[in-house]
Structure 1
Amino acid sequence: MQTRRARSAALVSGLAILLGGSALVAPGVARAQAAAAQQGAVQRIIIVGNERIEQSTILSYLPIGVGDTVDPARIDLALKALFRTDLFSDVKVGLSDGDLTIQVVENPIINRVVFEGNSGLKEDKLRDEITVRPRGIFTRAKVQSDVQRIIELYRRSGRISAAVTPKIVELPQKRVDLIFEISEGEKSGVLGVNFLGNVEFSDNDLRDVVVTEESAWYRFFSNNANYDPDRLEYDKEQLRKHYRNRGFYDFRVISAVAELSSARNGFAVTYTLEEGPRYRFGKISVETELKKLDTAVLTQLVPIRSGDLYEDERIETATDALTFAAGAAGFASVDVRPRYVADPATRTVNVVFQVNEGPRVYVNRIDIIGNTQTLDHVIRRELNLVEGDAYNRALVDRSENNLKALGFFKEVTIEETPTANADRTDLLVTVEEQATGELTFSAGYSSVDQLMIDLGITQRNFRGRGQDARARVSWGSYRQQLDFSFTEPRFLDRNLRAGVDLYYFVYDLSDYSSYKTTSLGTNLRIGFPLTADAFMTMRYVLREDDVEVPGIFCDPTQQQVSQTLCDQRGRYTTSLLGYQVTLDRRNDPVRPTRGFFVSLAQDLAGLGGD
């Protein structure tokens, strides 16, 4: 009996093992058969499901062609290639009997983008932030990314609890309206700005240093009276600059914490500081291995003296001065690194400026942006560097000053942009145009001139070529004036500034002073640079003056005017040759903070005239 039961149990166990083994083997066989079905040569490509996108367009993205042999890896590659186009929400690829079937579900086209619930931020600002556009392709990934962008924009404006929900309204022909439903929430104000650890400066002093402001009814125009985590990081840097520029070399911000109030109506911001003692500059020295540079001379150029109160800004100024000096000495690229050695016992900071020649870097490309009126070559001719030159910081600074001196631009910056090659750099010249034309008109009445009309027009950047053109007409009962001036800054495509002035004046004062003066003249000018900072202008003036006094007024028997006026009667020609030399050593031609400007002019008359 036991034997028979054992045999039955063994039979059941064996059947279970057999069935289990079959169950384990079957999926493997199925996968092998499925893989075999996905292999073979493509005899025909069939595309189904496309409504708006042309079949040829889909084939252009497909990395498989008729006659190719495909396997699961190639099919997977085709799937990824089609999904990367963002044209489809779903793609299926299958091979059966030589037919490669591509089944697609197209992404819809965005008909319009609508914002609802936004009152704190204007719609234009939101549209500038998002990437989806009308007539663009709708993808969920782009929409989710734009949702995060909008939330971040609200967070920066102080609305921490803002929420954005995207919704779509399906339209015919695979089109959708995309709606961003915005719940802005209340602004997260700043209930207080507090400081811990400050001894040398009061809380009120430090509140003027940070940009975060406490919320108040009178600050309704301020954008800083709300909580912004990024602003706290900026405040920490402002505090560091404030202390380090006042001798506190060891200063650091231990923490910046924002705590939400129990009423959830704002944050209390607390900065914990460690001021440390005040330091002064100790020994200042310059070290260099460059033979052409004299360390004694470089040390004299450093605007820091031992015993001065320590300031970070003076280190930066000294670094710029040494960089400029090395560039002027012919070193295209220098690396100036200050090394600090603080002595807490004496509370001094010794600074060693190490001046070494940096790796030789060449200008790869110069890009100019922002010039809507001024032609590119007008800007390029003011640059002291061209493509292929060795990068030189001094020449870059001088080029920036040249562009500022033109007076065509409100702002000028030249930035270095690294390239893929370590020995190549791009220069990005960014300019902001400003108005260079003026039209003036005035009319008036006086007891002497009676009716007067004055009309003038000036264009300092004529046709965007940097030319200066001026014209003026002034007309009155007793005074008439016409003058015209034109200046070409690059005469004959050379570094020559040439110009001509024409003028005609009439002063008829016969009814008041018994004389009339007429002047007709021209002025020819040409200027050229003597050095990098000196400029010379030569000029020639030819003028004819005619002074009319009625003869009866100069009759000795009944003279009615002064003898001096009578002696000036007649027509005279003036031939004049002159020059002007200017020396400009200002660090900035628009807003200088150091340097000087000197001008010397002389004129010599009588060369062929009266």
Structure 2
Amino acid sequence: MMAIGQQLGRAGHNTPSRQIRSVVFLLALAALSSGLPDVAAAQSYRFDQVKIEGLDRIEPATVLSYAAISRGATISAGDLNDAYQRIQGSGLFETVEIVPQGGTLVIRVQEYPTVNIINFEGNKRLKDEDLAKIIASQPRRVYSPSQVEADAGKIVEAYAQSGRMAARVDPKVIRRDGNRIDVAFEIREGTVTEVERISFTGNRAFSDRRLRQVLGTKQAGLFRRIIQRDTFVAERVEFDRQLLVDFYRSRGYIDAQVSGVASEFTRERDAFFMTFNVREGQRYSFASVSAVSEIEGVDAAEFQSQVKLRPGTTYSPLAIDNAITRMEALALKKGLNFIRVEPRLTRNDRNQTLDLQLALTRGPRVFVERIDIEGNTTTLDQVVRRQFRTVEGDPFNPREIRNAAERTRALGFFSKADVETRQGSAADQVVVDVNVEEQPTGSLGFGLSYGVSSGVGVNVSLQESNFLGRGQFLGVNISSGTDNVNSSLTFIEPFFLGRDLKFRFNTYYNTSDSDNSDYSTRFVGISPSIEFPISETGRLELRYELSAGKLYSVEPYDAGPPATGSSPILSREQDMGELYTSAVGYTYSYNSRLTGLNPTSAVTLRFGQDFAGLGGDVESVRTTALARAQTKVWQEEVTLRAEVEGGALHMLNGESRIIDRFTGNGKIRGFEPNGLGPRDLGAPNEDALGGNYFAVARLEAEFPIGLPEEYGITGGLFWDVGSVWGLDDTAGVAEVDDSLNWRSSVGFSVYWTTAIGPLRFNFSKALVKEDYDLEQNFDLTISTTF
């Protein structure tokens, strides 16, 4: 009789119904040939024993468990077919045959071979060790065709995520003796599938150029071989959609949506065209903003001051969220637990305004049972835990948990930081699960810098932003240029004494040969400091500095003839030798971006003073101040900046030195380093002397110049006006000019964001200057780290 397995062994090519029909037909044929009275009897079988052949590693009991055929039981042809399907579906055998032989059922099997080695061939972009982590097949395990096919798909997906959509993977099997095989994945990586063009439909308020700046995906540009964000990654599309929606809504477009993204291959099928379909809607602003209380005994007037949203302010979800955070924080300070702030918006479609009501309500009585942190192998739990202002036993606040998740991601220590909540041991308990994946936080950098005046410089830096897993920063930096060598060591503890106190310790050793002057300087010092918040937008730094400064290599003045040497002022300062400065100081800084009220504008203020005289050789008061404002206009295509900066040095005893005074370097464009300010015109060297005071105002506009956005090239116009003036010691020197003489310059800038670092080309012209000032009409700065 023909073996049933010979028919059932083709299960991969026949449907189950055809298999059953084959079994029934064979059994009927066997019955007729044996002279049985009817077909129905031939379709039933009864076996006294089951014989299994072909086993090597697998136990017979395993096969019997899959077959599920009992001795002495009556079974049908369908039962035999089911037994075959179960054994074949176990994935343990390459071939299966079921052969009835009278009262004995013979099951013949051939086990799948063992995988000897796994090779990857043709891969260059992804390394063997990286691919080995992707696949599930492993050496010294049983070969599974379905698993190998699935592994090939995983490799293709990995290449697709890196932008190689045309990658192909063909698994090959090489037979070896001893029922072993080698598995080889033949890989054709293909070329990178770039994003050739990104366009938008439905956008009226913002140009395509502006919207492209929002996306994480970029168009292919000049550095397409280096920049990876111009490759097409399907998983990034959804992220880009959300970025667009957040961009519009933060600017008042409450109904903004991205209805779809069309991704089409180019004709050559080597790049994509992406089109985002945008529905902007109307722009809304707040007509009225109020706080109300629905809790007995809680006065809403006390919380109104925390809103900080005024009528006419453009709608922004971030601004509302910050207002709610401030109100809930005030409630906690007052000892009011389980207070929730519910935002209620009423639309006025006729005039595109919103009435915002922030209602104080009573939330559910739910507590944080515990915070579980997993995935951190190097970073200590306390580094993550201190990002949560909630601890075990505190009332549960969903908004605070979300904010803590954002703070954890902002650390930069983790490639992934997921924060989720689940019910705890009771209905009023919540467990917060924090799952993180660590990423490298240390770097060794070698860099180059270039400036027209400073020349070529070399930088070497070693930094670790998560030192010993404690969240501390440790950095060593050494840089050298044509005329200077600077070295420093910095240590930062961002959570000193378990509080929001940033402790910084800095030590430095700097030497320089000043440009356009014939002298050298040397500084060495240490400076510990503490920085902490004093308001939502303000921080205060308190510091101490102990330093030693020396002026040397000053060429003595010789009246001649001919006269040679430097100014007698510098000679007298050199004669002071090395002086020690012991000073305490503070700096207050303000940043309006922290409130999130206006995403297109920002204001930064900084004011600081240093008081020297707590020991040491120098007694002085040094004051500096800076005010900076920035805004975007004309569909956010143009960025306007304005800065005002100034400083004053007041000596309490003795005279100031050139190493303590202001030089104005980098403050006013269009002039060389040490190219303006007080100068001894009677000295042959006409050395720049610096001044006790400086003031400067800078206006600047940055705008597109018509080039494709992906090239990263924009233009700018600037106007600078300022001066450096004032000396303490001018005795015996007749031709010193330390008067308040204003200078100004105008110019054009080209900004170029490149793969090797940001470049800036400045073309300037001094409008107002003194005859002895040194102009610089062109400047190029380049800095890169590799």
TM-score range (shorter-chain normalised) is 0.5 to 0.7
Measure the CA separation in 1 of the matches of 2:299 and 2:84: 67
Measure the CA separation in 2 of the matches of 1:333 and 1:44: 72
Measure the CA separation in 1 of the matches of 2:82 and 2:292: 59
1:218 corresponding residue in structure 2? 223
AA in 1 matched with 2:312? G
Does structure 2 conserve the Cα–Cα contact (< 8 Å) formed by 1:86 and 1:137? no
1:36 corresponding residue in structure 2? 44
2:206 corresponding residue in structure 1? 201
Alignment of 1:50-69 (within 5 A): 50-55=55-60, 62=66
Alignment of 1:445-460 (within 5 A): none
Q: 2:176 aligns with which of 167, 171, 175?
A: 171
TM-superposed CA distance for 1:359, in Å, is 5.8
Does structure 1 conserve the Cα–Cα contact (< 8 Å) formed by 2:67 and 2:84? no
AA in 1 matched with 2:45? A
TM-superposed CA distance for 1:36, in Å, is 3.3
Q: 2:147 aligns with which of 142, 150, 167?
A: 142
Alignment RMSD = 5.2
Measure the CA separation in 2 of the matches of 1:352 and 1:90: 72
Larger relative contact order (Cα-Cα within 8 Å, sequence gap ≥ 6)? 2
- Deviation per CA, 1:468-501, whole angstroms, max 9, x where unpaired? xxxxxxxxxxxxxxxxxxxxx99xxxx9xxxxxx
Structure 1 or 2, whichever has the larger Rg, is 1
Query: Cα distance 1:324–1:180, how it changes in 2: closer, same or farther (>3 A)?
Result: farther
Does structure 2 conserve the Cα–Cα contact (< 8 Å) formed by 1:400 and 1:412? no
Q: 1:415 aligns with which of 413, 419, 433?
A: 419
2:265 corresponding residue in structure 1? 260
Alignment of 1:131-530 (within 5 A): 131-285=136-290, 291=296, 295-321=300-326, 338-353=343-358, 367-372=372-377, 385=391, 391=396, 393=398, 415-418=419-422, 423=427, 425-430=430-435, 432=438
User: 278-287 vs 138-147, which deviates more?
Assistant: 278-287
Does structure 2 conserve the Cα–Cα contact (< 8 Å) formed by 1:284 and 1:305? yes
Does structure 2 conserve the Cα–Cα contact (< 8 Å) formed by 1:331 and 1:357? no
TM-superposed CA distance for 1:107, in Å, is 2.5
- Deviation per CA, 1:62-111, whole angstroms, max 9, x where unpaired? 59597896867987887676566533345567888886755443222222
Does structure 1 conserve the Cα–Cα contact (< 8 Å) formed by 2:51 and 2:105? yes
Q: Look up the SS of the partner of 2:347 in the other structure.
A: strand
- Deviation per CA, 1:283-327, whole angstroms, max 9, x where unpaired? 335567555765554554444333211112223334444565667
TM-superposed CA distance for 1:163, in Å, is 1.8
TM-superposed CA distance for 1:280, in Å, is 0.8
Measure the CA separation in 1 of the matches of 2:175 and 2:391: 57
Measure the CA separation in 1 of the matches of 2:412 and 2:223: 39
Q: Look up the SS of the partner of 1:284 in the other structure.
A: strand
TM-superposed CA distance for 1:265, in Å, is 3.7
2:63 paired with 1:49? no
AA in 2 matched with 1:418? R
Q: Look up the SS of the partner of 1:152 in the other structure.
A: helix
Q: Look up the SS of the partner of 1:259 in the other structure.
A: strand
2:131 paired with 1:126? yes
TM-superposed CA distance for 1:425, in Å, is 5.0
- Deviation per CA, 1:486-535, whole angstroms, max 9, x where unpaired? xxx99xxxx9xxxxxxxxxxxxxxxxxxxxxxxxxxxxxxxxxxxxxxxx
AA in 2 matched with 1:343? N
Measure the CA separation in 1 of the matches of 2:84 and 2:314: 67
User: 282-291 vs 209-218, which deviates more?
Assistant: 282-291
AA in 1 matched with 2:419? E
Relative to its length, the structure with more helix (as a share) is: 1
AA in 1 matched with 2:121? E
Measure the CA separation in 2 of the matches of 1:164 and 1:255: 31
AA in 2 matched with 1:207? R
Does structure 2 conserve the Cα–Cα contact (< 8 Å) formed by 1:385 and 1:396? no
Count of aligned positions: 420
Structure 1 residue ranges without an equivalent (≥5): 1-22, 437-459, 467-488, 496-591, 595-610
Query: Cα distance 1:256–1:51, how it changes in 2: closer, same or farther (>3 A)?
Result: same
Query: Cα distance 1:85–1:330, how it changes in 2: closer, same or farther (>3 A)?
Result: farther
TM-superposed CA distance for 1:403, in Å, is 10
1:567 corresponding residue in structure 2? none
Measure the CA separation in 2 of the matches of 1:196 and 1:182: 39
AA in 1 matched with 2:53? V
Does structure 1 conserve the Cα–Cα contact (< 8 Å) formed by 2:255 and 2:281? yes
Query: Cα distance 1:417–1:77, how it changes in 2: closer, same or farther (>3 A)?
Result: farther
- Deviation per CA, 1:309-358, whole angstroms, max 9, x where unpaired? 11122233344445656677778877765443322222112334566666
Does structure 2 conserve the Cα–Cα contact (< 8 Å) formed by 1:89 and 1:105? yes
TM-superposed CA distance for 1:261, in Å, is 2.8
Q: Look up the SS of the partner of 2:264 in the other structure.
A: strand
Q: Look up the SS of the partner of 2:258 in the other structure.
A: strand
Measure the CA separation in 1 of the matches of 2:382 and 2:43: 64
1:107 corresponding residue in structure 2? 112
AA in 2 matched with 1:224? R
Measure the CA separation in 2 of the matches of 1:309 and 1:77: 69
TM-superposed CA distance for 1:266, in Å, is 2.3
Measure the CA separation in 1 of the matches of 2:396 and 2:358: 22
TM-superposed CA distance for 1:205, in Å, is 2.1
User: 353-362 vs 163-172, which deviates more?
Assistant: 353-362
Q: Look up the SS of the partner of 1:151 in the other structure.
A: helix
Q: Look up the SS of the partner of 2:267 in the other structure.
A: coil
Measure the CA separation in 2 of the matches of 1:65 and 1:365: 53
TM-score by length of 1: 0.54
Measure the CA separation in 2 of the matches of 1:414 and 1:262: 41
User: 64-73 vs 259-268, which deviates more?
Assistant: 64-73
Query: Cα distance 1:99–1:435, how it changes in 2: closer, same or farther (>3 A)?
Result: same
AA in 1 matched with 2:234? P
Query: Cα distance 1:261–1:425, how it changes in 2: closer, same or farther (>3 A)?
Result: same
- Deviation per CA, 1:121-167, whole angstroms, max 9, x where unpaired? 33333222222222233222222222222222222222222222111
Structure 2 residue ranges without an equivalent (≥5): 1-24, 32-36, 443-465, 472-495, 499-593, 597-786
Measure the CA separation in 2 of the matches of 1:434 and 1:186: 29
Query: Cα distance 1:34–1:127, how it changes in 2: closer, same or farther (>3 A)?
Result: farther
* Identical aligned residues as a percent: 31
2:647 corresponding residue in structure 1? none
- Deviation per CA, 1:379-437, whole angstroms, max 9, x where unpaired? 99999655x98755588689999999xx998899672243699947543345659999x
AA in 2 matched with 1:415? V
Q: Look up the SS of the partner of 1:165 in the other structure.
A: strand
Measure the CA separation in 1 of the matches of 2:83 and 2:94: 15
Does structure 1 conserve the Cα–Cα contact (< 8 Å) formed by 2:251 and 2:314? yes
Measure the CA separation in 2 of the matches of 1:88 and 1:52: 11
Does structure 1 conserve the Cα–Cα contact (< 8 Å) formed by 2:369 and 2:424? no
